[in-house]
């Protein structure tokens, strides 16, 4: 297990390095460099001034040298500043990662709380009217464009009914209840797709499990159906679900990006988007790497959880989770 | 693979899939017929009419007009052409890249297999949308593309197809690799080998046809996903740029007019929704029809 | 997703909805507080770094310049006792010398300024000449990256007479000599951060300790900053001027205008300023729907929407084509239909509110026949498929660029495209996000024909960087200058040089008139209109007076009143 973990961590580190390089180069391919932007509105700046400032900030070096310099600094814990906010990137990102994780955790919890009973309900009555309805809803959930769903929610709850704020996160001096109001719509948006995905997984895992030998044995022994479901089937059906939830953190980040942008929720996704749109290279780069790191860690966590929940699995080589 | 006729007979057992197929075919026809409809109604989707902005639905403009007085229905159909075109072509590209990599990975095995699958794992585990945004924001001129390509009106179209294909292949590749692995040791492949056929010939002539059904299912499901991604990127201002309409960028304009003309924000999204759910249901039905084992699991 | 739920969960959902209902807004309208919603968040609060509207809007409540343009577009003192003019003897013309003392051959000016006795930083330290000298040093330092460094470099020396009085020795005597100094930095706090000039933008206390009261000298000071979301201001205890009405002002950044409007209607914010709020068409629609609760005030300003023409393009090098393009479009109709007449059509770059404006210029009313005749005369006579071609078979095709994502511009662009199609000009639209368009395409003159954007300017601002032939960006000058069209006109160059040194208002007015006439004759740029800002003001809030120029209304926040 320990060897497996180390190997996974090693792989993740390789992915992270590859990502940092690829992203650095890609961002270098974006238009407009920071010094040009700093003076875009200044008519009197001379070319000498610009050249000197570029040299001062190392922007006259070839891309590869700049990357190596960045990497050396990054490994020393020095990640530089955000152009849009003039603050060290980690000071910008830390609270925003927390905001994202809050949004994602609440949505995930709600999604699981709905998906598990819905999936079981459907699995126990395959082909029934309610199963079909749940199935259709799930298809709807994964097919609805999340930003459109958010637009509709804003339209209904903020514009037409005026019940909930159309965006933002609350402000200075607001109580917990007031802040919760700001969370309702983003959480609804983010959990919609997740509910649909998880329900389908729970359902198919449950159907699979209910066909297993030990369930039949339990039934044959006259164990009450309720008990069979709760005691035997559910536990085994949850294993793939937990794994998928952890594996899906990358997808959740994608969903969070849309949700955060739509609702002005100051999280990682919105920060990365704004940074890309505002040519804040450094913030975009470090933000993307941080999001990747969180995703990779979640994947490793998924493997551990899988091993822990399912004693049949032992890790040797070649297991991909 | 059993004949198409049998597959069709099985597919008919799934009313939702058949309904989707009919719906998608209808939508496809309607979208393809947009210029015809334009001529019939004597309207021009690109014609600006400042005296008729945000008009309600009526006999001339069936769904009303947008903020520049253009016919909304026609713009939706033109947008649909773009969205469907991007969806189909990007899904095809994804399928081709994925199929080739999956075949090679499964057939050659060893280090090559390891490398390709590691890349696939890494790609799948990444936060996809933030990555796509970075890719979409790259400047074509700095990529070394000639100005005539980078500046062409359709560039945003090609770009979005390319970046979706770049990140979308791992799913298909895994699938094809699995099939290849199971077929590699089968008799007919052994025979072909013994006959001295080259690996490329064996892969594409003998193995690939046997992977056709999962590939078809995966591609169908991919179309829906691609349309979603296209709409998200266009909505965020990084996909298709106006005045070329796409369902995603029409919604981008509509969100600022939510208080004045809420319906503008409803129609394009509804069409995306219906199309994507159509492809997803169709893919699901195909999977059940082509793979009897999976059929037992799906209603 | 509620439809997905099995029966047993329905009560849970119902309970959830009830819980939501309980969370409904219960904010009382406290009139000693004001919540303002804006669409931008400032990149920094340091007065010298990064010119940005959001920053100057917020800072104007907490920070006052030495002198500035007032509502009547005249320079007035805010922190000084009186302006330095030749008449009162505070300004004296001299022969300019450079930093080493060598004469430059130009005329310079020495202006003696006295700071008021009653201006203090928020920690009680008086504002003194030490702050003036420090600010000048930060501004002129080559490594700080301050925009508008040139204005600091024009000052060769500052003579300090005492705590409050100083003389600015300027190497340039021009017509704007009175507007000598803007915002000051508190030397007693900022000197440490300036020890490393290249990192000053990151080390400045405005960044590391923005709630330090000593950083501000206006009626308010900043007491809380949450990056990207909000800034809170409270009364500055050491402000000796007129007392403002509100104890606390909060600025909330809400980037999406639809959400901004929803917040206003729900009462989460009180006011949306015109400086960075709703677009004009949104404001017009808002007024129709909610005019009973809010006053919507429109003020045309110094934001000049126009289309730069690439004069290197052989098609556009022909003056007849340029004139035809302008005759072909109905700017009055665009203004009437899209903006309900609130954005006056521009004939030159000079706003009618500016005193140098003249009506005595060539104008180009909507006249498609005239446009067609001009195009015929220019040789674009063969019409195939509705598009004009010349004798060589070249299509009359032009590419039209603007900022992608700016909805109003993209609308106008599509309207103009259809006007031009009517006279046989094929215009294709290719837009880029602002970061690309300004960061690269326009600044490197990489647009091939038409580029629509806006200029922001101060009153009576000299078009040296936009119209002088020395200011054409090129690889040779590292793309500096803003004469993106490539306009070369010897008369224009001469007039610009003359205006700069002409101190007599009447004579200057004559020169300005010629500038506008040449501009309208030659049309290096197609003038469209002057943008209007829309202020959405609650009925109970009074005293907001838009200036029409760049100084935000918050510079007079102490005049805002509750009624």
How confident is the model over C531-544, as pLDDT tens digits?
A: 899 999 999 999 99
User: What 3-state class would DSSP assign to C203?
Assistant: helix
C180 within 8 A of C84, measured Cβ to Cβ: yes
Q: How far apart are CA A119 and CA C6, in angstroms?
A: 9
- The answer to whether residue B59 sits within a structural domain is no
Mean pLDDT of C36-52: 88
- The answer to whether residue B280 sits within a structural domain is yes
Q: Cβ–Cβ of A29/B135 closer than 8 Å? A: no
In this structure, what token pair is assigned to residue B229?
A: 């991604």
Assess A99–C contact: CB distance below 8 Å, yes or no: no
- The answer to whether residue B247 sits within a structural domain is yes
Mean pLDDT of B264-285: 92
Residue to mutate among C4, C290, C440, with most A CBs inside 10 A, is C4
Cβ-Cβ contacts under 8 Å, B273 against chain C: none
Chain A residues 32-91 with CB within 8 Å of chain B: none
Q: Which residues pair with C224 in a beta bridge?
A: C232
Query: For all residues of chain B together, what is the average pLDDT?
Result: 83
Mean pLDDT of B66-78: 86
pLDDT of residue C397: 93
Q: B55 CA to chain A: closest CA distance, Å?
A: 20
Of A50, A86, A137, the CB nearest to C3: A137
Specify the pTM. 0.85
How confident is the model over B201-248, as pLDDT tens digits?
A: 888 887 888 888 888 888 998 899 899 989 999 888 888 877 788 898
Which CATH number do you get for residue B126?
A: 1.10.3720.10
- In the predicted structure, residue C25 carries a pLDDT above the cut 60: no
Q: How far apart are CA A52 and CA A49, in angstroms?
A: 5
3-state secondary structure chain B: CCCHHHHHHHHCCCHHHHHHHHHHHHHHHHHHCHHHHHHHHCCCCCCCCHHHCCCCCCCCCCCCECCCCCEHHHHHHHHHHHHHHHHHHHHHHHHHHHHHHHHHHHHHCHHHHHHHHHHHHHHHHCCHHHHHHHHHCCCHHHHCCCHHHHCCCCHHHHHHHHHHHHHHHHHHHHHHHHHHHHHHCCHHHHHHHHCCCCHHHHHHHHHHHHHHHHHHHHHHHHHHHHHHHHHHHHHCCCCCCCCCCCHHHHHHHHHCCCCCCHHHHHHHHHHHHHHHHHHHHHHHHHHHHHCHHHHCCCC
Most confident of A25-34, B197-206, C215-224, C338-347: C215-224
- Chain center to CA of B169: 12
Which chains would you list as touching B if contact means 3+ CB atom pairs under 8 Å? A, C
pLDDT of residue A321: 32
Q: How far apart are CA C5 and CA C220, in angstroms?
A: 53
Mean pLDDT of C142-164: 86
Taking chain A (321 residues) in runs of 10, the rounded mean pLDDT of each run is 83 88 81 61 62 72 84 87 86 92 92 90 87 90 92 88 83 78 92 88 84 77 76 74 77 89 91 87 90 88 76 46 32
pLDDT of residue C12: 47
- The answer to whether residue B9 sits within a structural domain is no
- In the predicted structure, residue B154 carries a pLDDT above the cut 80: no
pLDDT band at C118 (very low <50, low <70, confident <90, very high): very high
pLDDT of residue C124: 93
Q: A141 CA to chain C: closest CA distance, Å?
A: 7
Q: How far apart are CA C441 and CA B139, in angstroms?
A: 11
How confident is the model over C500-532, as pLDDT tens digits?
A: 888 888 999 999 999 999 999 999 999 999 989
Domain of residue B125: give its range. Answer: 14-45+66-292
- The answer to whether residue B20 sits within a structural domain is yes
Q: Quote the strand ranges of A143-296, DSSP E.
A: none
Chain A residues 283-302 with CB within 8 Å of chain B: 284, 287-288, 291-292, 295-296, 299
Residue to mutate among C23, C33, C146, with most A CBs inside 10 A, is C23
- In the predicted structure, residue B294 carries a pLDDT above the cut 60: no
Assess A277–C contact: CB distance below 8 Å, yes or no: yes
- The answer to whether residue B147 sits within a structural domain is yes
- The answer to whether residue B50 sits within a structural domain is no
Query: For all residues of chain C together, what is the average pLDDT?
Result: 87
Q: Cβ–Cβ of A136/B128 closer than 8 Å? A: no
Higher pLDDT, C548 or C328: C328
Q: Cβ–Cβ of B142/A269 closer than 8 Å? A: no
Assess A213–C contact: CB distance below 8 Å, yes or no: no
Q: Which of B285, B275, B287 is nearest to B224 (CA)?
A: B275
How confident is the model over C367-418, as pLDDT tens digits?
A: 999 999 999 999 999 999 889 999 999 999 999 999 887 888 888 998 999 8
Residue to mutate among B258, B261, B262, B273, with most C CBs inside 10 A, is B258
Question: Looking at chain B, which residue has its C-alpha nearest residue C339?
Answer: B50
Q: C273 CA to chain B: closest CA distance, Å?
A: 17
In this structure, what token pair is assigned to residue C75?
A: 């320079």
pLDDT of residue C335: 92
Cβ-Cβ contacts under 8 Å, B134 against chain C: none
Assess C440–B contact: CB distance below 8 Å, yes or no: yes
CA dihedral for C303, C304, C306, C312, sign (positive or negative): negative
Of C337, C418, C433, the CB nearest to B237: C433
Q: Which residues pair with C541 in a beta bridge?
A: C562
CA dihedral for B283, B288, B289, B290, sign (positive or negative): positive
DSSP calls for A40-109: TT-TT--HHHHHHHHHHTTTTS-HHHHHHHHHHHHHTT---B-TTT-SBHHHHHHHHHHHHHHHHHHHHH
How confident is the model over B39-61, as pLDDT tens digits?
A: 887 777 777 777 777 788 888 77
Mean pLDDT of C221-230: 91
Higher pLDDT, B93 or B55: B93
Of C286, C337, C433, the CB nearest to B50: C337
- In the predicted structure, residue C439 carries a pLDDT above the cut 60: yes
Cα distances (Å, whole numbers) of residue C158 to A216, C161, C262:
95, 10, 51
Q: Quote the strand ranges of A141-198, DSSP E.
A: none
B178-187 long-range Cβ contacts below 8 angstroms, 24+ apart: B178/B106, B179/B102, B179/B106, B179/B207, B179/B210, B179/B211, B179/B214, B180/B102, B180/B103, B180/B105, B180/B106, B180/B107, B180/B207, B180/B211, B181/B106, B183/B207, B183/B210, B183/B211, B184/B106, B184/B107
Q: A40 CA to chain C: closest CA distance, Å?
A: 7
Q: How far apart are CA B46 and CA B41, in angstroms?
A: 14
Taken as a whole, chain B contains a residue count of 299
pLDDT of residue B261: 84
3-state secondary structure A187-232: HHHHHHHHHHHHHHHHHHHHHHHHCCHHHHHHHHCCCCHHHHHHHH
C330 within 8 A of C370, measured Cβ to Cβ: no
Number of structural domains in chain B: 1
Q: Which of A130, A108, A106 is nearest to A118 (CA)?
A: A130
pLDDT of residue B287: 84
pLDDT band at C429 (very low <50, low <70, confident <90, very high): confident
pLDDT of residue C313: 94
Residue to mutate among C329, C366, C398, C430, with most B CBs inside 10 A, is C430
Q: Which of A148, C447, C146 is nearest to B141 (CA)?
A: C447
Q: Going by C-beta distance under 8 Å and a sequence separation of 6 or more, which residues neighbour residue C287?
A: C294, C296
pLDDT of residue A51: 73
- The answer to whether residue B298 sits within a structural domain is no
pLDDT of residue C162: 94
pLDDT band at B146 (very low <50, low <70, confident <90, very high): low
Of A56, A137, A165, the CB nearest to C268: A165
Q: Cβ–Cβ of B299/A250 closer than 8 Å? A: no
A73-78 long-range Cβ contacts below 8 angstroms, 24+ apart: A74/A20
Cα distances (Å, whole numbers) of residue A302 to A52, A95, B121:
50, 25, 14
Torsion angle, alpha carbons of C358, C360, C365, C370, to 10 = -150
């Amino acid at each position: 297990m320990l060897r497996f973990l180390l190997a996974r961590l090693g792989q993740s580190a390789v992915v992270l390095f590859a990502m940092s390089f690829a992203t650095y180069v890609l961002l270098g391919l974006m238009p407009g460099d920071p010094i040009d932007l700093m003076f875009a509105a200044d008519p009197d700046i001379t070319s000498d001034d610009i050249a000197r400032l570029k040299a001062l900030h190392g922007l006259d070096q070839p891309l590869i040298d700049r990357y190596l310099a960045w990497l050396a600094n990054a490994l020393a814990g020095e990640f530089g500043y955000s152009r849009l906010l003039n603050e060290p990137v980690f000071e910008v990102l830390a609270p925003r990662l927390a905001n994202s994780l809050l949004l994602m955790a609440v949505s995930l919890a709600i999604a699981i709380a709905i998906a598990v009973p819905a999936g079981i309900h459907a699995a126990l009555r395959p082909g029934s009217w309610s199963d079909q309805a749940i199935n259709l809803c799930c298809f709807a959930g994964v097919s609805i464009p999340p930003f459109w769903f958010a637009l509709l929610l804003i339209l209904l709850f903020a514009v037409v009914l005026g019940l909930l704020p159309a965006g933002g996160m609350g402000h200075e001096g607001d109580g917990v209840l007031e802040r919760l109001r700001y969370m309702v719509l983003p959480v609804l948006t983010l959990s919609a797709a997740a509910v649909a995905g998880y329900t389908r997984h729970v359902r198919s895992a449950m159907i699979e499990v209910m066909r297993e030998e030990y369930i039949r044995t339990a039934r044959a022994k006259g164990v009450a159906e309720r008990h069979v479901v709760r005691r035997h089937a559910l536990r085994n059906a949850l294993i793939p679900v937990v794994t998928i939830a952890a594996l899906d953190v990358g997808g959740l980040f994608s969903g969070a990006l849309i949700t955060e942008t739509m609702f002005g929720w100051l999280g990682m996704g919105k920060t990365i988007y704004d940074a890309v749109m505002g040519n804040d290279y450094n913030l975009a780069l470090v933000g993307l790497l941080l999001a990747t790191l969180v995703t990779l860690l979640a994947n490793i966590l998924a493997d551990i959880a899988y091993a822990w929940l399912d004693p049949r699995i032992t890790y040797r080589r070649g297991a991909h989770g | 693979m059993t004949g198409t006729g049998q597959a069709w007979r099985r597919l008919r057992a799934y009313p939702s899939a058949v309904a989707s197929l009919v719906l998608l075919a209808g939508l496809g026809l309607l979208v393809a017929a947009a210029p015809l409809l334009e001529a019939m109604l004597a309207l021009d989707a690109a014609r600006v009419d400042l005296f008729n902005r945000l008009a309600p639905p009526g006999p001339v403009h069936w769904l009303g007009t947008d903020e520049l007085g253009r016919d909304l229905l026609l713009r939706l159909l033109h947008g649909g052409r773009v969205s469907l075109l991007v969806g189909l072509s990007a899904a095809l590209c994804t399928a081709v890249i994925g199929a080739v990599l999956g075949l090679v990975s499964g057939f050659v095995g060893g280090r090559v297999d390891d490398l390709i699958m590691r890349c696939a794992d890494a790609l799948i585990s990444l936060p996809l949308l933030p990555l796509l945004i970075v890719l979409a924001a790259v400047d074509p001129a700095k990529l070394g593309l000639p100005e005539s390509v980078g500046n062409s009106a359709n560039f945003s179209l090609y770009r979005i197809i390319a970046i979706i294909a770049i990140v979308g292949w791992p799913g298909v590749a895994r699938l094809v690799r699995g099939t290849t692995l199971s077929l590699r040791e089968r008799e007919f492949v052994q025979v072909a080998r013994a006959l001295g056929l080259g690996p490329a010939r064996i892969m594409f002539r003998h193995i690939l046809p046997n992977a056709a059904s999962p590939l078809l299912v995966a591609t169908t499901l991919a179309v829906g996903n691609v349309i979603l991604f296209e709409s998200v990127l266009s909505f965020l201002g990084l996909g298709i740029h106006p005045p070329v309409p796409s369902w995603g960028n029409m919604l981008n304009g509509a969100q600022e007019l939510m208080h004045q003309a809420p319906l503008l924000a409803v129609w394009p999204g509804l069409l995306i929704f219906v199309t994507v759910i159509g492809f997803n249901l169709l893919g699901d039905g195909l999977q059940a029809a082509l793979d009897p084992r999976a059929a037992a699991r799906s209603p | 997703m509620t439809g997905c739920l099995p029966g047993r969960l329905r009560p849970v959902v119902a309970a959830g909805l009830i819980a939501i209902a309980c969370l409904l807004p219960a904010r009382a309208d406290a009139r000693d507080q004001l919540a303002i919603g804006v669409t931008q968040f400032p990149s920094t609060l340091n007065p010298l770094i990064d010119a940005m509207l959001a920053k100057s809007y917020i800072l104007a409540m907490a920070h006052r310049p030495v002198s500035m343009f007032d509502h009547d577009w005249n320079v007035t003192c805010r922190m000084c006792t009186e302006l330095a003019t030749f008449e009162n003897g505070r300004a004296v013309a001299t022969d300019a010398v450079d930093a080493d003392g060598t004469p430059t051959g130009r005329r310079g000016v020495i202006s003696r300024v006295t700071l008021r006795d009653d201006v203090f930083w928020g920690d009680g330290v008086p504002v003194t000449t030490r702050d003036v000298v420090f600010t000048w040093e930060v501004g002129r330092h080559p490594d700080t990256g301050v925009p508008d460094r040139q204005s600091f470099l024009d000052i060769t020396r500052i003579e300090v007479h005492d705590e409050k009085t100083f003389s600015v020795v300027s190497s340039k005597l021009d017509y704007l000599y009175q507007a000598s100094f803007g915002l000051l930095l508190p030397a007693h706090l900022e000197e440490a951060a300036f020890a490393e000039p290249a990192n000053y933008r990151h080390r400045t206390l405005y960044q590391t300790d923005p709630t330090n009261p000593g950083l501000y000298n206006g009626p308010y000071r900043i007491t809380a900053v949450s990056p990207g979301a909000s800034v809170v201001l409270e009364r500055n205890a050491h402000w000796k001027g007129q007392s403002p009405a509100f104890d606390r002002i909060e600025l909330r950044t809400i980037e999406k205008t639809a959400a901004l409007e929803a917040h206003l209607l729900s009462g989460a914010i009180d006011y949306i300023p015109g400086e960075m709020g709703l677009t004009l068409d949104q404001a017009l629609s808002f007024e129709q729907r909610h005019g009973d609760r809010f006053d919507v005030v429109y003020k045309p300003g110094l934001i000049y929407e126009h289309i730069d023409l690439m004069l290197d393009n052989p098609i556009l090098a022909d003056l007849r084509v340029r004139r035809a393009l302008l005759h072909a479009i109905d700017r009055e109709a665009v203004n009437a239909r899209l903006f309900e007449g609130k954005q006056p059509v521009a004939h030159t770059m000079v706003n009618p509110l500016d005193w140098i404006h003249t009506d005595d210029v060539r104008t180009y009313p909507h006249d498609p026949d005239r446009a067609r005749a001009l195009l015929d005369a220019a040789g674009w006579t063969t019409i195939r498929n509705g598009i004009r071609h010349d004798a060589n078979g070249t299509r009359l095709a032009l590419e039209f660029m603007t900022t992608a994502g700016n909805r109003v511009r993209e609308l106008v662009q599509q309207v103009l495209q259809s006007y031009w199609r009517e006279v046989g000009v094929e215009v294709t639209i290719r837009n880029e996000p602002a970061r690309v368009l300004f960061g690269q395409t326009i600044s490197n003159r990489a647009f091939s024909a038409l580029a629509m954007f806006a200029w922001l300017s101060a009153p009576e601002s000299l078009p040296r960087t936009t119209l002088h032939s020395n200011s054409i960006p090129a690889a040779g000058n590292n793309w500096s200058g803003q004469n993106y069209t490539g306009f070369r006109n010897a008369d224009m160059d001469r007039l610009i040089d003359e205006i700069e040194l002409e101190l007599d208002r009447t004579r200057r007015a004559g020169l300005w008139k010629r500038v506008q006439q040449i501009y309208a004759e030659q049309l290096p740029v197609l003038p469209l209109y002057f943008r209007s800002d829309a202020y959405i003001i609650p009925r109970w809030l009074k005293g907001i007076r838009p200036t029409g120029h760049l100084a935000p209304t918050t510079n007079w926040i102490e005049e805002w009143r509750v009624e």
